[in-house]
Every structure is written in structure tokens, then in C-alpha cells.
Chain A
Amino acid sequence: DQQVKQNSPSLSVQEGRISILNCDYTNSMFDYFLWYKKYPAEGPTFLISISSIKDKNEDGRFTVFLNKSAKHLSLHIVPSQPGDSAVYFCAASDSGGYQKVTFGTGTKLQVIP
């Protein structure tokens, strides 16, 4: 059973517009949510995170929103740039002493110049 789900395998957005990537989760024990970005032939790199006690976290062009009642989070990228083209993984952790981070399947974002 997949505990973290990214239902959109791909997304295309025009440069300068907003990109919205979505993620759903099922485990109510998750207390941190993260987004990772992955370029081809590279490992994933951490992008932004949010604690379960917050509903929004912003870092420059990237904002993550958390809706705990809906068990849903989203990543907004504004404005989108061609260099943002990558695979984005949603992840969640239950940090109870040691880490067990659960990942989604990823959404491939293409930003069209």
C-alpha cells in the first residue's frame, strides 16, 4: 500500500507561469513532509520541507502547502523557470527516534521556454 501518492506522473508549464505539484498521503503519523528534486543521472536533492504543525512554508520561488484534514500537500513554484525541469518527489517522515522517509513515485515537471 502506497502511503505517499503522486497521481500526476508529468506536468508541463510555460516559463513564468505557476507550477503546482500535488501529493496525497495516508499515514496520519507522518510529522514532516518534504519535496526533493532530481535531475537525470543525479541523486535527489532536498528542496523544501514543512512540519505537520504548519500549513505553509515558503522559500523564495517555492512554497509548500499542507492540508492535514485532507492529507494533501502541494508544491507551488512561481515563476517557473526552464531550470526547474526535473522530477519532483514528495516524501514524508515519521521521525520517531530514527528516520524512515517514505517517497512518492515522482512527478516529472517540464518548463517550456
Chain B
Amino acid sequence: ETGVTQTPRHLVMGMTNKKSLKCEQHLGHNAMYWYKQSAKKPLELMFVYNFKEQTENNSVPSRFSPECPNSSHLFLHLHTLQPEDSALYLCASSQVWPSNGELFFGEGSRLTVL
């Protein structure tokens, strides 16, 4: 496999459920990201991991919990979500340095919270 892969592609969950989104990159990058894309809004940066260390938490509610066990894998654990959390969640990876800001995105996980 190549690139950035995300699973599942679609997820429907109730407000009391616990689920996880998974991301894997095969590009040898050392930085991984979670972005949220809601309708008619910019892509919102949620979390950044550099060399497995979290370097950015963009004021994300604690019901979203990231985990980065190694430079190739990134998870987003979800619990007690709200309907307004329904969105497309995009994982990305990149080189840390040198860098021009180019990100490599997965195809996204479409989340619906009922």
C-alpha cells in the first residue's frame, strides 16, 4: 500500500458509543495530523504529532482523544460525541523538515453522530 489510508471510510454512531478512527501512512513521514471538515467551513486543524509527540491541540474537546503509537499510525478515539461533531475527519502526514507545508491526505472518514 502507498500513501495515507483511513478506516473506516464511513461511521455512524450514537451519542453514547465509543469508536475509533484509524490512519496509516506509508510515506516515511514523521508528522501526522487530524483535520475536521464541516460543511462550508475551512478545514480545521485538530491535532499534530511530530515524531510521535503531540505538538498541537487546537482547543479540541476532550471527547476526541488522539493516539500516535508510532510515526506511521494515528488514531482518533471518539466517545460521547454530539450531533454537531458529524463531519469528515481527514488524516494527513508530512515531512517535518525541510517543509513547505505540503500535506498528504487520506480519503477521510465520514462520521455521522445520531
Contacts and interface: CB of A to CB of B under 8 A. Distances in A.
Given A2-B42, A43-B4, A101 B107 contact: no
Contacts of B45: 100-102
Interface residues of A, number: 29
A27 B48 CA distance: 20
Max chain A Cβ within 10 angstroms of own Cβ: one of B6, B55, B92, B102: B102
Contact of A105 (B42, B56, B96, B107): B42
A43 B105 CA distance: 5
Given A89-B43, A93-B99, 13 more contacts: A34-B101, A41-B107, A43-B6, A43-B90, A49-B100, A91-B101, A98-B31, A98-B48, A99-B96, A101-B45, A102-B45, A104-B42, A105-B42
A98 B102 contact: no
A59 interface: no
A88 interface: no
Contacts of B96: 98-99
Interface of A: 2, 4, 9, 32, 34, 36, 41-46, 49, 51, 89, 91-93, 95, 97-106
A93 B94 CA distance: 13
A91 B42 CA distance: 10
Nearest to B50: A98
B43 A99 contact: no
Nearest to A51: B100
A102 to B, nearest CB: 8
B48 to A, nearest CB: 6
Contacts of A103: 35, 42-43
